[in-house]
Structure 1
Amino acid sequence: MTKPQSSEQDSSARARVQRDERALRRGLSLGEAFREFLRHPSPWLIGITLLVALTGRLIVGDWQLTDALVPAAMLAVFPIFEWIVHVTVLHWRPRKLGPVAIDSELARKHREHHVDPRNIPLIFIPTKTLSVLVVVLVALAALAFPRLGLGLTFLLTITLLGLAYEWTHYLIHTDYKPKGSLYRAVWRNHRHHHYKNEHYWFTVTTSGTADRLFGTHPDPAEVTASPTARNLHSA
């Protein structure tokens, strides 16, 4: 990965971060942020799926040890899954196979998100893509597990993780002021990705667990600003 050299780009990146810091000092309450969060379809679609999964899981019963092991394993690998999706799906470079363009809605919307990180609707998983994902996940829960109870445990866990991802990603892009050190670390990590260099800091819900594993968590002071952070693949 390249590190473009430009003092003007560094100054611009610092200015954007400083503007965000000033907005943060003005503050946004958590309640205000949550009310805006609920105005968008993604949290509702994931939340309804979560409630259906929870209701079904309680009705089915049949609790076994694997109902604890599956969520634990999913939680452990989620930062890696998040990193892989961000790098390979969201940052997909558009390609053509003959006359056919290969470019998913997720990748297109993510490029728009980088252009305007404060555009709230672009923060969320696109509704059409999310609807398909929900259908696929429900099918997996029903058909891919040795018992229905375990499949519902999987569906319940993945929707909880999805809702946590949507909330965290949304909150980072608002003017809500970080209160705790853990959230501030997560906030800084993702802001560096958008305003410093898009080739690093791919995790969203953690402060760089998978980034450290895959070598994409450098010292920000040693990374120069990228000219394509706001316009992916333009170089």
Structure 2
Amino acid sequence: MSTPPAAAPLSLPARPELTGDRPLGVLLLHGFSGSPASMAPWARYLNERGYAVELPLLPGHATRWQDLNTVAWTDWYAEAEAALDRLHATTEAVVVGALSMGGSIALRLAEQRGADVAGLVLVNPFVSSTRKELVALPVMKRLVPATKGVVNDIKKPGQDEVGYPRLPLRGLHEVVKMWRVLVPELSRVTQPLLYFRSAVDHVIDPSSSATVLDAVGSREKEERILTDSYHVATLDNDAPRIFEESADFIARVTAS
């Protein structure tokens, strides 16, 4: 099954007429069962300000939901790492921005590739959960391939993240397996961190906030609450705020 055009990955070169002779890059990562469509407006906004932007399509996404039951979390990480390498081939510094599960991948990149990540911008990152049913995933995934999807938790009408209508359980278990590697090493994250969290989120609970902010080693870390958006805030009413404030953050942390 082919990927819908709206969900295709983006690779946008730096615009030297705006940035001068010091090209800078931004890597953007979408969430679980979503697609690059959720991040494309943010990518274009940053590119219009001169940044090179890589927005990869993570394996198993934007085709059919069954495909997300055939990949491992390490496949998502490898795709993100390859995009980071592409940016570093043409830019001097890279900031990583991410939505939902993409936040876990972004944090893992910061742990593993610390010198290559100048800063992090996370939007409703999915790094932990208080949902008791996740404990049963190793068994559930063998009995039920998927449950009702969690796509398009967006307050603003007319938006579409081009995600799956079903939630693949083998794929979701890979997210949990990633947390087991990621969370114990969060103290290795020392980059400046800007964290956006929606006050109302019907997809994830607030536990990720404390999991991340209490554990990272970043001296500069700030949480900003989004009051007019749900989970996919990058397509929601607060998106302009995310875009503007992230651009200011990126400019500042890459200035030296």
Would you say same fold, with TM above 0.5?
A: no
**TM-score normalised according to structure 2 size:** 0.22
**TM-score normalised according to structure 1 size:** 0.24
- Structure of greater relative contact order (alpha carbons < 8 Å, 6+ residues apart): 1
More strand by share: 2
